[in-house]
Amino acid sequence: MKISVITISFNSAATIESTIASVLAQDHPDIEYIVKDGGSKDGTLEILKKYESRIKWISQADKGIYDAMNQGLEMATGEVIGLLNSDDFYATNDVLSTVNRIFETQNAESLYADLQYVDYQDTTKVIRNWQAKEYDKSNFLKGWMPPHPTFFLKRSHYDKYGFFNPEFRSAGDYELMLRMLFKNNIPASYLPKTIIKMRAGGVSNVSLKNRIWANKEDRRAWKINGIKPKWYTLWWKPLSKVFQWVK
């Protein structure tokens, strides 16, 4: 099946070429790679032009991360869609072929896997291990979520249940997975393998202020979907990440 991979970028010249290279090195034969750029001024566009015979890309203004992702989704034609940040990269060359095999052999509707945070400069240095574990819907109530960059979903579910909510600043991925998996009961398959290396420094984790803001957005994600967390759910969510550092 065709897999669409979407990358959003803005002034990402320092890292995006390694992201692109990791996608183009994949051994799956049917990949649609889309880069939605927000109007970069740092040399990102020159890098994209180098690969324009092998990728689909557009550079235009957007209203933020999730609006940009939605623009990418509008361009996607694959049966399965994944997202890859412009400073992240696939851990091995068989990631997408493995994802494809699980979707086909297990009749999967969605899939997630493990992720490693690596040093921004030295990507061989692992800082955190995010081992997601087998899917259990009730784990959302314990503050669990899949590693969002590893999440693949059939296009039909985006069409049925909607794209990202662009009103979120940092928790739009959490809201989308909560809506898809918890509220609408889409089955999820777990691939117990590190498939993405993520450079440290995500939007919701770079400061205490951002973490507090992210917690407020997490609460809003439950509220707008008309579902109730436990009293401890949203406190345990950031605390559970401590174990990723220990591992």
Domains of the chain: 3-246 (3.90.550.10)
Contact 81, 149 (CB under 8 A): no
Reported pTM: 0.92
Q: What is the pLDDT of residue 214?
A: 77
Return d(Cα 159, Cα 154) in angstroms, integer: 9
Contact 209, 91 (CB under 8 A): no
Return d(Cα 11, Cα 38) in angstroms, integer: 8
pLDDT at 239 over 70: no
pLDDT at 182 over 90: yes
pLDDT at 205 over 70: no
| Positive or negative: CA dihedral 177, 39, 23, 80 | positive
Main-chain phi, psi angles of 111, to 5 degrees: -155, 150
Tokens of residue 150, six digits: 């590893």
Return d(Cα 219, Cα 77) in angstroms, integer: 33
pLDDT at 244 over 60: no
Q: What is the pLDDT of residue 210?
A: 67
Q: What is the pLDDT of residue 97?
A: 98
Highest mean pLDDT, choosing among 153-157, 200-204, 216-220:
153-157
Return d(Cα 80, Cα 1) in angstroms, integer: 8
Measuring CA to CA, which residue among 28, 25, 72 is closest to residue 51? 25
